[in-house]
């Protein structure tokens, strides 16, 4: 998959030179991130190809983890370039809870750079939807903000209308893995017929995969044949 380049991005970089969001030095390669902070990011180099879980088996992994072999999720593969710690955790939590919108552009750029070399192009990208009450409370959906940059960088369609969240589920952060699965059960629905047979679900971070599993299940039941998961980080 090739990245697309747009004149508005080039003009913006000329008028407002990128500055590293982590250390304040000059940004590098059109990103608000310097070369040295980029090298220090917590890369997820050895992970399960199905769910993106970190695996301690060496620099590369050629198959799924034990959990996916025994209890396969509804999605087909996961692309998660980073581990949810350090600078990446700071960027995601600052975006989600402190409305640091500038972080969404950087996270989207980093994810797009990874996907350009590792993922096949889907027919559409669907950010994980928030329930209207949660959206009103937060004022934005961080998955959508990241997805805007990813789809622009890769030249892919962004789909914000095909899926919706049925229930205002509890926050997942305080729940166990089993509770997360129950909390997300049948939480999503496909709102209109889908023509796409290959879709990518996009979110900021994946922990147990319960959210993306339920959304992927709804998409598969609606006739989608392949569902990939794109997340900035894997917890």
The number of C-alpha atoms within 13 Å of 102 and in the hemisphere containing its C-beta is 9
Percent of the chain scored above 90 by pLDDT?
A: 74
Q: What is the pLDDT of residue 181?
A: 63
Find which of 64-68, 92-96, 185-189 is predicted with most confidence, using mean pLDDT.
Answer: 92-96
pLDDT digits over 155-186, tens only? 999 999 999 998 776 565 666 667 666 766 77
Mean pLDDT of 31-55: 96
In DSSP notation, 127-190 reads EPPPPHHHHHHHSS-HHHHHHHHHHHHHT--B-SSSEEE-S-PPPGGGS-HHHHHHHHTT-EEE
pLDDT at 201 over 70: yes
Whether 12 has a pLDDT exceeding 90, the answer reads no
Q: Which of 219, 205, 210 is nearest to 80 (CA)?
A: 205
Paired with 199 in beta bridges are: 124, 227
The whole-number pLDDT of residue 8 equals: 55
By the 8 A CB rule, do 185 and 214 touch?
yes
Q: Minimum mean pLDDT among 9-23, 29-43, 107-121, 127-141: which range?
A: 9-23
Domain boundaries, the chain: 44-234
pLDDT for the residue 58: 60
CATH number of 44-234: 3.40.50
């Amino acid at each position: 998959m090739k990245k697309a380049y747009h004149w508005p991005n080039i003009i913006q970089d000329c008028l407002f030179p990128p500055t590293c969001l982590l250390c304040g030095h000059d940004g590098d390669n059109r990103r608000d991130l310097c070369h040295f902070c980029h090298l220090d990011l917590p890369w997820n180099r050895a992970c399960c190809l199905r769910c993106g879980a970190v695996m301690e088996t060496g620099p590369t992994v050629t198959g799924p983890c034990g959990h996916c072999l025994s209890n396969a999720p509804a999605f087909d593969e996961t692309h998660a370039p980073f581990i949810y710690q350090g600078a990446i955790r700071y960027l995601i939590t600052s975006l989600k809870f402190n409305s640091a919108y500038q972080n969404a552009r950087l996270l989207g750029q980093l994810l797009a750079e990874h996907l350009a070399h590792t993922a096949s192009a889907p027919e559409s990208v669907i950010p994980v939807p928030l329930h209207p009450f949660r959206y009103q409370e937060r004022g934005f959906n961080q998955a959508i903000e990241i997805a805007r940059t990813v789809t622009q960088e890769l030249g892919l369609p962004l789909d914000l209308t095909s899926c919706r969240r049925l229930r205002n589920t509890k926050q997942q952060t305080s729940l166990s893995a089993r509770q997360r699965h129950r909390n997300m059960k049948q939480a999503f629905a496909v709102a209109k017929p889908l023509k796409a047979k290959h879709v990518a679900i996009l979110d900021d971070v994946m922990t147990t995969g319960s959210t993306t599993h339920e959304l992927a299940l709804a998409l598969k039941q609606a006739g989608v044949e392949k569902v990939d998961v794109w997340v900035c980080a894997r917890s």
